[in-house]
Structure 1
């Protein structure tokens, strides 16, 4: 009886070892370069992808203009996730494949402040205007989401009034002045980044028609050696579970 049990145990162990070996052999590594506002959401989605496929994904984040430049300068990648106009440019230059460009996510622009600052109501244009006029410092970036916020200030009719209080920085530099500040300081930027930055709380999205969303598309590079895996990864980004993970992180 003991010998029989030992044989069964050996067979189970061997089967498990073979399964693990097969999974290891079949696993594929791909590299994805993405626009930085998607980092909080895409990181969670990729975790789900890894769990289900055992494939490994190397994620690199940079603003869309920098992603475009990196690819044009010859940096290797399998998938690129950028705003559609940058995908158009990369297609024209022959760096990414032509064809379908699925929209994988939309990211809105919001307003935040330090965790210990008041939780202002910005749910209407009038309330947003009052909040902005009461700020000591307003920080936002110098790329597309920052321009969307600058356009909102113009539409509110307070751009010139607020000019002495405004600091524009790189996309990764918007939180530093607010976190190190002592006054009534505000930061405007993409909602996922505001919502997931330690020490910062999201006051809310820009209300109504003041809102402007950034759209992201995923494309396969022309020089990838893992085309099938890259295409299946993009398919996963469109799956219901991926959409749920995007939404939970402030993208939709």
Structure 2
């Protein structure tokens, strides 16, 4: 694969789950420390993979760890340089200053979903894909989906703000990114689901200092201390998706 030209910046493809931490703090800190600008594209991992499959390659990719491993096996990213960043769970949010539904148990979660006027979730995001499967497992898919607000991509909590839905389902870090909503909490044990994210250089940028510097910075102790403020947890490094 052709090597990336030295164009004075790093092109980043990143999952939405870490967007707030990057946009509000980490990318600016990286540029201040290194003098290298970062041009970022934020999308669900599935959408980023489609862009790469069509021939659009970043210098650095942040995506679900399992997907990064698959891309490494295909020779698209440099798996040897992959570093785990953080993880987050699927949760539920409501409009700020409205009553919080009960979701402490799977039974309470089911009742909350069944009682909702409309539940918003993402069609292409990892959280939405998991939630659709969970609804089927809980036996309420037909009932909930009959009134659901399914967004193609982006932050589902926006649908709570504009009145399309009264509940938003997404990664906790993505729910926290939207001002004007309250995160009720992650899903309870028995319905919980954690996803880990990793950073990796693409093979087009393998060995190039700016790309490697960005990956290392995003996995540094300085960066890890930031993720918690944005609804993210320390990565375990194994990439497992608990459910």
TM-score (norm 2): 0.81
Offset at residue 29 of structure 1 (A):
2.2
Cα distance in 1 for partners of 2:212, 2:155 equals 33
**In structure 2, C-alpha distance between the alignment counterparts of 1:50 and 1:163, rounded to whole Å:** 44
Is 1:220 the counterpart of 2:201 in the alignment? yes
- Mapped to 2, the partners of 1:37 and 1:249 lie a distance apart of 9
Shift of 1:218: 1.3
* SS class of match (1:165): coil
Match of 1:5 in 2: none
Change (3 A) 1:125 1:235: same
Residue 162 of structure 1: which of 144, 150, 173 is its match?
144
- Once residues 150 and 137 of structure 1 are traced to their aligned partners in structure 2, the CA distance between those partners, rounded to angstroms, is 14
Q: Any unmatched runs of 5+ in structure 2?
A: 1-7, 234-243
> What is the correspondence of 1:66-85 to structure 2 with a 5 Å cutoff?
66-85=47-66
Partner of 2:89: 108
- CA distance in 1 between partners of 2:229 and 2:104 (Å): 20
Greater gyration radius = 1
**Alignment partner of 1:193 out of 174, 181, 187:** 174
- CA displacement at 1:100 relative to structure 2: 4.2
Instruction: From 221, 224, 234, give the equivalent of 1:243.
Output: 224
Moved more, 213-222 or 125-134: 125-134
| C-alpha deviation, 1:226, in angstroms | 7.0
Whether the 8 Å contact between 1:41 and 1:250 is mirrored in structure 2 is: no
Q: What SS does the aligned partner of 1:208 have?
A: coil
Q: 2:99 aligns to what?
A: 118
Partner SS state of residue 99, structure 1? helix
Query: Are the aligned partners of 2:155 and 2:174 in contact in 1 as well (CA < 8 Å)?
Result: no
TM-score, normalising length from structure 1? Answer: 0.78
8 Å contact from structure 1 (residues 78, 226) kept in 2:
no
Would the aligned equivalents of 1:72 and 1:90 in 2 still touch at CA under 8 Å?
no
